[in-house]
């Protein structure tokens, strides 16, 4: 360890890079991409436009957006050997593990996988964004013993994903809700997965290796998967009349309530506010408000107990019910995170490599003092 260097376990609070992509004020509950508040993007933008914004660090003109959308559509289809590979892998494998394997294999179909020039990375980022959705939908179907559905050329990114997953063209409302969910998850500064991808990229490795590192980090339950655990908890509660006592019992046992608290937010996660509205709207449209009612009681109970310590709902709390109302199984919630966050991962990689410096932190040595090798016959 360098003399006088500060130590922060988990690098908490350490500034490891500069970025123009995402601004967060955790005390005020502010999140913005390139200075545009997330509320405005969720209200007026689309996932494709948000992806362009993060990739190129500006909003597109109409012709640019249309061209970007056309390129995403052109790259949706997967190489046939990738689908064959997915079919040969165990159906019991975790979807995130399948996704990681498939992305690694995609690198073999890139004629210049090691080209990390700006233009090449932009093309690879766009292609990976298109294909991550196709991969995830295919994995979702293969797990159920169903054949993957080929992507369409006449639907938006969000609508096409839901179509490939279910086999039915989604309603305008379902498409809009899922599109908003993708926008909200597109980037969030430097969490473990984004940091992992950037560390790998800083060695000038290929982008497929970097994204596999991100997927590996996201697979961990301390990063991805919280919304899956939230929906399972809500379903386990089962009835609004049980919600308050269920949560109070967990709190008395000092158990973690999934979907609450965030390393950065000490107030209500702005993404959770948006998703709560959509969750309520979907609950009313499906005439099944029971799960949403349970969530509202859980939220009220937790905030009354822990709000004074800055623990409020995060993005995972209401995204689980949103996906549930859209008919998506919990095992796909984390891969869907990747369908969106591929944009943020790629954007950070491209941004960091413009002024690249390989990551090489140090450690604080806590082992024995310097000594000498002891021959084996002299050891006691």
- Determine the Cα angle at 271 with ends 24 and 347, to 5°: 55
Instruction: Identify the active-site residue in 262, 269, 324, 348.
Output: 262
The per-residue pLDDT for 3 is 57
Active-site residue, 288 included: no
**pLDDT tens, residue by residue, 83-121:** 999 999 998 999 999 999 999 999 999 999 999 999 999
The residues pairing with 28 across neighbouring beta strands, listed in sequence order, are none
Give yes or no for a contact between 47 and 340, defined as CB atoms under 8 angstroms apart: yes
**Do 22-214+334-352 and 226-325 show the same overall fold?**
no
**pLDDT tens, residue by residue, 194-212:** 999 999 999 999 999 999 9
Instruction: Identify the active-site residue in 185, 188, 316, 324.
Output: 316
Active-site residue, 262 included: yes
pLDDT class of 311 with cuts at 50, 70, 90: very high
Classify domain 226-325 by CATH architecture. Answer: Orthogonal Bundle (1.10)
Instruction: Identify the active-site residue in 25, 110, 115, 223.
Output: 223
Which run of H or of E encompasses 238? none
Residue 93, phi then psi, degrees to nearest 5: -65, 150
The per-residue pLDDT for 222 is 84
| Residue 66 tokens, joined | 């249309």
CATH number for region 22-214+334-352: 1.10.580.10
Question: How much is the pTM?
Answer: 0.95
Active-site residue, 223 included: yes
- The whole-angstrom separation of Cα 31 and Cα 314 is 12
Residue 31, phi then psi, degrees to nearest 5: -135, 130
Q: What is the mean pLDDT of residues 139-168?
A: 97
DSSP 259: T
Burial of 152 (0-12, 13-18, 19+ CB in 10 A): middle
Instruction: Provide the residue ranges of all domains of the chain, joining segments of one domain with +.
Output: 22-214+334-352, 226-325
Give yes or no for a contact between 282 and 322, defined as CB atoms under 8 angstroms apart: yes
């Amino acid at each position: 360890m360098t003399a006088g260097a500060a130590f922060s376990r988990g690098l908490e609070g350490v500034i490891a890079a500069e970025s123009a992509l995402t601004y967060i004020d955790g005390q005020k509950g502010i999140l913005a991409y390139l200075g545009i508040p997330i509320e405005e993007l969720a209200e007026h933008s689309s996932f494709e436009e948000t992806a362009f914004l993060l990739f190129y660090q500006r909003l597109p003109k109409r012709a640019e957006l249309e061209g970007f959308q056309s390129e995403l559509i052109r790259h949706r289809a997967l190489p046939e050997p990738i689908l064959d590979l997915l079919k040969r892998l165990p159906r019991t494998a975790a979807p995130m593990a399948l996704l990681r394997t498939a992305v690694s294999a995609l690198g073999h179909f890139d004629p210049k996988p090691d080209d990390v020039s700006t233009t090449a990375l932009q093309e690879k980022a766009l292609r990976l964004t298109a294909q991550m959705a196709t991969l995830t939908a295919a994995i979702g179907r293969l797990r159920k013993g169903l054949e993957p559905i080929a992507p369409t050329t006449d639907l938006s990114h969000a609508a096409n994903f839901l179509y490939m997953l279910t086999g039915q063209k989604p309603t305008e409302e379902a498409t809009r809700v899922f599109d908003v969910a993708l926008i909200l998850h597109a980037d969030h500064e430097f969490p473990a997965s984004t940091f992992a991808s950037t560390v790998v990229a800083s060695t000038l490795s290929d982008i497929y290796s970097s994204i596999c590192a991100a997927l590996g980090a996201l697979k961990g339950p301390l990063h991805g998967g919280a919304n899956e655990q939230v929906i399972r908890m809500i379903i386990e509660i089962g009835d609004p009349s049980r919600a308050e006592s269920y949560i109070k019992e967990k709190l008395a046992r000092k158990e973690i309530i999934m979907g609450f608290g965030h390393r950065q937010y000490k107030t209500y996660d702005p993404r959770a506010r948006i998703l709560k509205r959509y969750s309520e709207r979907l609950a009313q449209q499906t005439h099944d408000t029971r799960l949403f009612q349970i969530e509202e009681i859980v939220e009220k109970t937790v905030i009354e107990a822990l709000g004074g310590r800055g623990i409020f709902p995060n993005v995972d709390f209401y995204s689980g019910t949103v996906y549930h109302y859209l008919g998506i199984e919990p095992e796909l919630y984390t891969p869907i995170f990747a369908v969106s966050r591929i944009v943020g991962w790629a954007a950070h990689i491209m941004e960091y490599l413009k002024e690249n410096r390989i990551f090489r932190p140090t450690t604080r040595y806590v082992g024995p003092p310097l000594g000498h090798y002891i021959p084996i016959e002299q050891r006691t």
